[in-house]
Amino acid sequence: MKHSSLGKVLLAGLMTAGVAMQAQAHRAWILPSSTVLSGEAPYVTFDAAVSNTIFFPDHVAMGIESVTATAPNGESVALENSARGKYRSTFDLQLNGEGTYRVGLASSGLRAVWKDEDGKRHMWPGRGQQANDADFATAVPKNAKELRVTQSSRRIETFVTLGAPSDAVLKPQGVGLELVPVTHPNDLYAGESANFKLLIDGEPAKNAEVMLIPGGSRYRDSQDEIKVKADAAGQFSVTWPSAGQYFMEAEYEDGKAKAPATSRRGSYTATFEVLPL
């Protein structure tokens, strides 16, 4: 599939999922009940929400119509028992084969902001609306003032493994901001260092800002966030201070966008489980 077509599909997917612009001030996450499993075709239950507090559903449920699960062999796996409540959505995933599964959703598309002759601010697409990049030329006026066009991407995901970890689903797709694990995301242990790499449209995301927050912040006076910055190759490392679930958020922006965009911006969030030694 070509990148332009993939971008359209991903944009529609995320907007359908309900993670619209007004929700981006909050944090969206997908939390598995377990990330490392054994046994005969076990199930994992996932919570999905957009919240003010990490892993505590207190704002709005995430729409999961466009959440996808990819098996170790690259095939799609159906989500089961999906349900949406006021503050969180849930679904189950059965692991029918050994290896690592990727679960998540993504978007990529143009966004424009400008002012008309009367100084009134406009934006395309509108809040909560879907858009097709091909409509840009007719949706945005030729004489738009103070026009700012951004190629924007967003990705939310997590990983679970049955038996021995595998790497097939970890390969980057070359669209938006992506994480390429050097250390496997289901092989993380307290007190040990893990290495990762960030790519933007398949290239190193130089100096990308990264923040990790351990779960349980509702019961702490501070978030205890860990802040790191990727190097020139997009690589960074983190030493896990304790076992538990962690929320990761990465941001990147530069001016290397294709016309009509003048900047490109990517965000990436993921959930990791760090196990005790």
pLDDT computed for residue 10 by the predictor: 43
For residue 151, the model assigns a pLDDT of 85
- Can you tell me the distance from the alpha carbon of 37 to that of 45, in angstroms, rounded to the nearest whole number? 12
Tens digit of pLDDT for each residue in 223-256? 999 999 999 999 999 999 999 999 999 999 999 9
> What pTM was computed for the model?
0.85
Determine how many CB atoms are found less than 10 A away from the CB of residue 13: 20
* DSSP code for 8: H
Pairing of strands 36-37, 145-162: parallel
From CA 14, how far away is CA 104, in angstroms rounded?
10
Q: Which two tokens stand for residue 196?
A: 């990762």
**Per-residue pLDDT at 23:** 38
pLDDT of 139 reads 85
pLDDT of residue 128: 66
Give the separation between CA 155 and CA 107, rounded to whole angstroms.
6
171 vs 153: CA distance, rounded Å: 18
Cβ-in-10-Å burial (0-12, 13-18, 19+) of 73 comes to exposed
Task: Catalogue the E-assigned strands of the chain.
Answer: 27-32, 36-37, 43-51, 60-61, 68-70, 76-77, 80-84, 89-94, 99-115, 121-124, 145-162, 177-181, 193-200, 203-204, 209-214, 226-229, 235-239, 244-254, 263-274
Give the other-Cβ count within 10 Å of 96's Cβ.
13
φ/ψ (deg, to 5) at 160: -135, 150
> Do the beta carbons of residue 153 and residue 33 sit within 8 Å?
no
**What is the residue-averaged pLDDT of the chain?**
89
Element (H, E) at 231: none
At 22 the pLDDT is 36
Report residue 80 as tokens: 């089961």
**DSSP letter (8 states) at residue 22:** G
All residue ranges of the chain with pLDDT < 50 are 1-24
Measure the CA dihedral 159/161/164/165, to 10°. -10
Domains annotated for the chain, with CATH where assigned, are 3-108+150-274 (2.60.40.1930), 110-145 (no CATH)
